[in-house]
Amino acid sequence: MDRAERLARLAGDAGCTPLYTLKPFSFVGAMELLAPRVAGFSVSSLFEARLARRVLGEEGLVHLTTPGVRPDEVEVIAGLCDHIAFNSLPQWSRFAPRTGGRARCGVRVNPQLKLVEDARYDPCRRHSKLGVPLSALESALAGDPAAFDGMTGIHFHTNCDCEDFRPLLTTVRRLLERVGGFMEKLSWVNLGGGYLFAPETDPSPLLEAVNLIRRRCGAEVFVEPGAAVARGAGRLVASVIDLFDSDGATVAVLDTTVNHWPEVFEYQEPPAVAGQVVGGRHRYLLAGCSCLAGDLFGEHAFDEPLAVGSQVVFEDAGAYTMPKWHWFNGIGLPSVYARTPEGRLILKKSYGYEEFETRCGG
């Protein structure tokens, strides 16, 4: 909750409205704790929108952006969401006339500013499918301004795990420079997520970015981080179920798998483990227990040896873990516990054989 409170404080200082984006972690108990600390949730699908509304009731904002709006979902989405940022101009012209209800609509803009090295996570990569390219927006504004009648806001999301707010300020300056006249007519601007809101980060570029928009456009400004709130709030706890030597390395097989935390596999970076010691005397290749050869959490060293039954605790496992995990090999998903401020663990959910069978069509 510290992280959510820090986000709320910083957003308050900056004069913007904090949303929490559900995509990294959307567990109902956690959403209920977060709801009073943010103005609402941002979502990526009809199902997330339904979940958000279920937790928020009629209070609280729901903001949606996704390339994946289906024609048969538009009216329902518009009934659930306060803001919809359509992903393309064709999506906007097809669906905005059908929105009515509570939804105020706009588009997601791709500022065409490369901020992320790994193209798989770069929303501004070449031929990006995420948002209206800024150059296309400029041409459309010049060629057919009437097509934007009724548009109330824009959204952008351009970064990933960034510890520095300066790229956000650069993005806002670029947008104001290129389409500032258009932005002056808007009533909301969503700055997306992708920033870590760390305590040591200089907040002044965020404050300036928000201030620039508010002064020039008078629009309400939203931020919607996810990992900043969720990552440090979760741990993945595993046990060693086998230990053996393989070509000179000691493999410690765990009762979990990277398929319970697919980003470990995607990024190929060993996650942090509680008690690991750089240069520690006992070195292990921590391995998941699926048949995938690359199902590995990486090499870690400890001062004390591991044994079958030892607990291995992965830190900072709260983001992009549960929503992405899957049942490959039929390996049971981790049970979910809440930890009280006093350190007591409360079982919130376990996933048994029945869930697996249902997934398998049984």
Ligand X SMILES: Cc1ncc(COP(=O)(O)O)c(C=O)c1O
Residues within the interface to ligand X (CB under 6 A):
21, 23-24, 42, 65, 157, 160-161, 192-194, 224-228
Distance CA(123)–CA(191), nearest Å, equals 13
Name the minimum Å distance from CB 24 to ligand X.
Answer: 5
Whichever of 168 and 254 has its CB closer to ligand X, that residue is 168
Q: And the tokens for 67? A: 């390339």
Coil, strand or helix: which one is 201?
coil
Whichever of 195 and 302 has its CB closer to ligand X, that residue is 195
Name the minimum Å distance from CB 146 to ligand X.
Answer: 28
Name the minimum Å distance from CB 281 to ligand X.
Answer: 37
Whichever of 123 and 334 has its CB closer to ligand X, that residue is 123
**Ramachandran class of 43: left when φ > 0, alpha when ψ lies in -120 to 50, beta otherwise:** beta
Angle at which helix 166-183 crosses helix 134-143, to 10 degrees, equals 10
Whichever of 87 and 259 has its CB closer to ligand X, that residue is 87
Name the minimum Å distance from CB 123 to ligand X.
Answer: 7
Whichever of 18 and 288 has its CB closer to ligand X, that residue is 18
DSSP letter assigned to residue 340: -
DSSP letter assigned to residue 288: -
Distance CA(351)–CA(355), nearest Å, equals 6
CB of 106 within 8 A of CB of 151?
yes
Name the minimum Å distance from CB 158 to ligand X.
Answer: 9
Neighbours of 60 (CB within 10 A): 17
Distance CA(93)–CA(15), nearest Å, equals 32
CB of 43 within 8 A of CB of 61?
no
Whichever of 172 and 287 has its CB closer to ligand X, that residue is 172
Name the minimum Å distance from CB 154 to ligand X.
Answer: 12
